[in-house]
Amino acid sequence: MRAEIQPRILDIIPVSIRVRCKKHAEELHIDPGSFHLLTDCFIMELAHLEKCKFTPHTHATWAKFFKVVVDAISKQYH
């Protein structure tokens, strides 16, 4: 079965991350460049766990998902 992201999930992420976004920017002072490094690590770990099942399509699907997460958590920095 090909992995797909439900469009509704992509709509919910920015809303659910908004509070954490402020915290990472204003309280924790996290370098926004670290967010995509962290999500790249998640993708590498997923590839390691899934082995041959981690196809280019799976990779692209996770990359799309994490792009929305990183955009959402980085919002307070723009």
Taking CB under 6 A as the rule, does residue 15 contact ligand HEM?
Answer: no
| DSSP letter assigned to residue 76 | G
Taking CB under 6 A as the rule, does residue 28 contact ligand HEM?
Answer: yes
- Taking the complex as a whole, the smallest distance from the CB of residue 34 to ligand HEM amounts, in Å, to 4
From the list 78, 74, 76, 75, the residue with the least C-alpha distance to 32 is 74
Taking CB under 6 A as the rule, does residue 43 contact ligand HEM?
Answer: no
Distances (CA, A) of 39 to 1, 65, 70: 24, 10, 8
Taking CB under 6 A as the rule, does residue 65 contact ligand HEM?
Answer: no
Residue with the two structure tokens 């590498």: 44
In the bound state, the residue with its beta carbon closest to ligand HEM is: 34
Taking CB under 6 A as the rule, does residue 5 contact ligand HEM?
Answer: no
